[in-house]
Amino acid sequence: MLEIKNVKKSFGKQEVLKDVSLRVEKGDVIVILGPSGSGKTTLLRSLAFLEKADGGVMMLGDKSLDMHNASSKDIAWVRKRTAFVFQNYNLFANKTALENVMLGLTAGRGMKKDEAERIARKALRDVGLEDRMDYYPSRLSGGQQQRLCIARALAVKPEVLLMDEPCSALDPISTLAVEDLINELKNDYTIVIVTHNMQQAARIADYTAFFNLKAVGQPGHLEYFTDTTTMFNNPQNEEAERYVSGRFG
Ligand code: ADP
Ligand code: MG
């Protein structure tokens, strides 16, 4: 279980997140929707402590920690349990698929090479890349690169999988392949996904968080958090309705 309460974050004078609270159970996929600039990436990064929030409480498993004043030990504890799938892949161009996954384990977690290789091979098989292990990223399609990123994230055996627009650069067929993979994984992980794709949100999310922006330069805020059926069939206000129906300005 992952829960956050009253997460706040500003960059300089710009307030980006204002009192965001969410709760996700293991086995659930939560999708974060909202216009560009509303703070979705910042929230995901804060959850993985890639960004330090200015305030807020995180509860993960049986641990509760202050997101602003967390000790380096607590931060390491959370990082060990979370994995991030980046929008722009963040792969090493001069390393093969296998080496890319292994690096997260050897350099990232201090694992011995032979064990890292065994785990990396399994993670690549799990995402359907068993025949692409020795390929460099430039020789993989977008969908394969994204599945490689997911393999890299899974290899560290996280509890929480954070995905920032994982399909935004993919064609519809590769998108469906990644969604199938997410559906296969969902029972074993707590998954938080940012997407702009409404159909995708409707297909994969159990819960939907809708972020909104009053105006550019104003803080993003969580407009509401609800089960996906309600979000799509009974939007709670006009802006959410415009957003889910694709009429957002
Ligand atoms: P989204 O992912 O919803 O598009 P972001 O979380 O990327 O939104 O950004 C929210 C706001 O925070 C934007 O106005 C963005 O310019 C600002 N922002 C994000 N990261 C930084 C940063 N490292 N430094 C300064 N401003 C940032
Ligand atoms: Mg973003």
**From the CB of 212, is ligand 1 less than 6 Å away?**
no
Tokens 């080496």, located at residue: 99
Which residue puts its alpha carbon closest to atom 27 of ligand 1?
Answer: 11
Which residue puts its alpha carbon closest to atom 22 of ligand 1?
Answer: 11
**From the CB of 52, is ligand 1 less than 6 Å away?**
no
Largest CA distance in the chain: 55
In angstroms, the CA 188 to CA 21 distance is 23
How far, CA to CA in Å, does 108 sit from each of 45, 90, 140, 150, 152?
Answer: 17, 14, 24, 16, 11
Query: pLDDT 10s per residue in the chain (249 long)?
Result: 899 999 999 999 888 888 899 998 889 999 998 888 888 999 999 999 999 999 999 999 889 999 999 999 999 999 999 999 988 889 999 999 999 999 999 998 899 999 999 999 999 999 999 999 999 999 999 999 999 999 999 999 999 999 999 988 888 888 998 899 999 999 999 999 998 888 888 899 999 998 887 666 666 677 778 888 888 888 877 877 887 776 654
For residue 249, what pLDDT is reported?
42
**From the CB of 40, is ligand 1 less than 6 Å away?**
yes
For residue 217, what pLDDT is reported?
64
**From the CB of 42, is ligand 1 less than 6 Å away?**
yes
Contact between 150 and 179 under an 8 Å Cβ cutoff? The reply is: no
Ligand 1 center to 58 CA (angstroms): 21
Which residue puts its alpha carbon closest to atom 13 of ligand 1?
Answer: 37
pTM of the model: 0.90
Which residue puts its alpha carbon closest to atom 20 of ligand 1?
Answer: 42
For residue 219, what pLDDT is reported?
67
Nearest-atom number in ligand 1 for the CA of 217 is: 14
